[in-house]
Structure 1
Amino acid sequence: MAAGSARPGRKGFLSCACFFTDNLFLPRYGLHVRYAGDPEQLRREYGPALRQRGCRTEEEFTAVIQEIEKEVKRRKELSYRSKERKAIISRNYRPKHPELYSLQESFLAPKFLETVKYCTSKEADLQGLLSRVETISDKRIYRLPVFAKEFCQAFIKELESFEHSEMPKGRPNSMNNYGVLLNELGMDEAFITPFREKYLQPLAALLYPDCGGGHLDSHKAFVVKYALKEDLDLSSHYDNAEVTLNVSLGKEFTDGNLYFAEFREDINPVPKYIEVEHVLFHGLLHRGGQMHGALPVTSGERWNLIIWMRSSIVRNQLCPMCNRTPELVEADGFGEGFTSNFDDSQPETVDLCSLI
């Protein structure tokens, strides 16, 4: 489908067709691949990498093709299945803590509120903000307290209540198997959207103006869970986002640190990794294109809230997942954050993160 010819979802948001062909993850081999429906294309482009990772027989290669085709089928059915799950949850699930579904300032850490208040003041600038947050490295990764302890504890209890219910559950993303999609749980409209618009965008506008930080108009929010006998770690990847917030909610766990490498466009034959510990109730802000992953937890359970924030005026120029002009296709809700028409009130140009 040609760009601009798709029917839009909510507020005109769309997806890129590469969602069905690119960044298909093979957990056994720790490899993302592109698959256009031709096994020989996969063999030509990824044969050496697959063999290096242990895929050496024809039977193993056939199993890879089957795994990829299963994932493509899942993605093609994702919109319908998600709407179906959300409707069932809305009709049948009774929240343990219904008060959590609408954002309240009491949920937020006092220092977070003070920092956001500064960002919305007339005298706000980058240097002033940097004096109020922790700078992790020169990779433009920042940490600050986000939620109150009491909120995080109640939120995890709510998530566990949903986890133990008989409600249908979707995977948070293509790499995580355990967690909760917050839009399906019904937390988008009254919690995540105002949280992004009122609190996160003022921070991102100062920290990441070149990434569309002042024009974050959509998101995908989910919670991931790591535990023994479930997901232990996360392979290196970059997010389908311009800016990401990653908040450590709890519970008690050991290890499982995050690690960060270069920005996805930076070519370095020997990546320079930094390891970052989780701090409970604190969030990490980073560019979506920053390569990162998570080391294995060795005990306990780790729950993290992830919000992928997207700027249509950035991604309309170049899809961050395929590095091509987006081929727009119909989507529901926020889709992948693309829009078919540029708003005349938006800036004419925005420097892409990959250019810095």
Structure 2
Amino acid sequence: MLAKCLSKDQMRMEILSSVQRLHAELYTIQAEHFFVPSFIKAIDENTEQGFRNIMKEASPGVFVFEMLQPRFCEMLMAEVENFEKWVHETKFRIMRPNTMNKYGAVLDDFGMETMLDKLMEDFIRPISKVFFPEVGGSTLDAHHGFVLEYGMDRDVDLGFHVDDSEVTLNVCLGKQFSGGELFFRGVRCDKHVNTETQSEEVFDYAHLPGRAVLHRGRHRHGARATISGNRINLLLWCRSSVFRELRKYQKDFSSYCTECQRERKERQRQSVAAIKLVR
């Protein structure tokens, strides 16, 4: 099959009609087979304390927790490898997950859109409602789901950036690897995305298979080089159309941008100083 110039919808139709699924159970949410018991228990309780019992705030705004069972990780990696094999054999031109990565696959493109919608709505949105209300955590209504592949014959690292999301879920699937740590450098709005990092904002995180990281999309981050082996990660960019519409009319983002917070405190300090001088 020759490479084709297809629309996004045409491309998905072509893929869905051509790629044979290895694990049909991956395409619908089966919580007891996908997730570790502690995560299911917290979701069932649906309370702030229940979420805090399983989630460690490793750095301000960066939450780490055990999420995926090893069997699910293995099946999803095998499904992606099967898809990549089909792409290679047919020379089918696919869209990669984003402009920064040359390897990986958009999971929606080969049939996982419904499953990922359910993952966002029933599992990530309840958590985001508690921990990320200021960026639309309670109104997440769209997603971009994909897998990234790192290694000597894949993408090696990932530059400093922010995500096109309100909330990002990042879960390591495997395999054997060293290096590849995430580095976080503070939350910024569009206006301040390139401002200097403060010492208290510096945080590095080492991946472990099955363990998830949840953070704001505006939390600046990148990935260090994978030194050996192969690292495969599942990412779910969760978006809120309500928040995005409201953001168009805002000028101050001190509810989440640390630089906006700093500027606001400075204005307040100057105002108080001016009042004291008048008196």
TM-score where L is the length of structure 1: 0.64
Q: In the alignment, residue 172 of structure 2 is paired with which amino acid?
A: S
Range with bigger deviation, 256-265 or 165-174: 165-174
Are the counterparts in 1 of residues 39 and 66 from structure 2 also a CA contact under 8 Å?
yes
TM-fit CA distance, 1:209: 1.1
**What secondary structure is seen at the aligned counterpart in 2 of 1:315?**
helix
2:188 touches 2:256 (CA, 8 Å); kept in 1? no
Distance 1:352 1:309 in 2: 19
Q: 1:259 aligns with which of 183, 186, 198?
A: 183
- Residue 269 of structure 1 is matched in structure 2 by 196
Residue 132 (1) aligns with residue 61 (2): no
Find the residue that maps to 2:54 and give its secondary structure. coil
Q: How does 1:1-356 map to 2 (within 5 A)?
A: 81-105=7-31, 106-119=33-46, 124-125=47-48, 127-138=49-60, 140-165=61-86, 166=90, 167-189=92-114, 191-265=115-189, 268-272=195-199, 273-318=202-247, 353-354=256-257
Rounded to whole Å, the distance in 2 between the matches of 1:212 and 1:170 is 28
1:317-336 per-residue CA deviation (whole Å, 9 max, x = no partner) reads: 236xxxx88xxxxxxxxxxx
1:34 aligns to what? none
Distance in 1, Cα, partners of 2:242 & 2:26? 32
Runs of 5+ unmatched residues, structure 1: 1-77, 326-349
- CA–CA separation in structure 2 for the residues paired with 1:200 and 1:283: 11
1:169 CA drift (Å): 2.3
Query: Which segments of structure 1 move beyond 6 Å, counting only runs of 4 or more?
Result: none
**Deviations, residues 184-215 of structure 1 (Å, cap 9, x unaligned):** 111001x1011111111111111111111111
TM-score, normalised by the number of residues in structure 2: 0.81
> Do the aligned partners of 1:212 and 1:311 also contact (CA within 8 Å) in 2?
yes
Q: Distance in 2 between matches of 1:102 and 1:90?
A: 16
The 1-side partners of 2:27 and 2:100 are apart by 26
Shift of residue 112 of structure 1?
Answer: 0.9
Q: Which whole-Å CA distance do the structure 2 matches of 1:219 and 1:351 have between them?
A: 25
Say if 1:296 and 1:150 are closer, same or farther in 2 by CA, change over 3 A: same
Deviation of 1:135 (Å): 1.2
- How many Å apart are 1:233 and its aligned residue? 0.2
Q: Is the 8 A contact 1:242 1:289 kept in 2?
A: yes
1:28-76 superposed Cα distances (whole Å, 9 cap, x missing partner): xxxxxxxxxxxxxxxxxxxxxxxxxxxxxxxxxxxxxxxxxxxxxxxxx
Residue 271 of structure 2 aligns with which residue?
Answer: none
The number of aligned residues is 243
**TM-fit CA distance, 1:109:** 1.3
CA contact (8 A) 2:42 2:50 kept: no
Following TM superposition, by how much is the alpha carbon of 1:353 offset from its aligned partner in structure 2, in angstroms?
A: 3.4
* Pairwise CA distance, 1:252: 0.9
**Matches of 1:181 and 1:278 in 2, distance apart?**
21
1:260-319 deviation line (CA, Å, top 9, x unaligned): 001123575344421100021011000000000000001111111111101111111236
Letter in 1 for 2:196: P
Superposition RMSD in Å: 2.2
Provide the identity percentage. Answer: 31
* Greater helix content: 2
Corresponding residue SS for 1:316: helix
Q: Which amino acid aligns with 1:353?
A: Y
Distance verdict in 2 for CA 1:102–1:131, change over 3 Å: closer
C-alpha distance after superposition, 1:10-43 (max 9, x if no partner): xxxxxxxxxxxxxxxxxxxxxxxxxxxxxxxxxx
The answer to whether the 8 Å contact 1:89/1:168 transfers is no
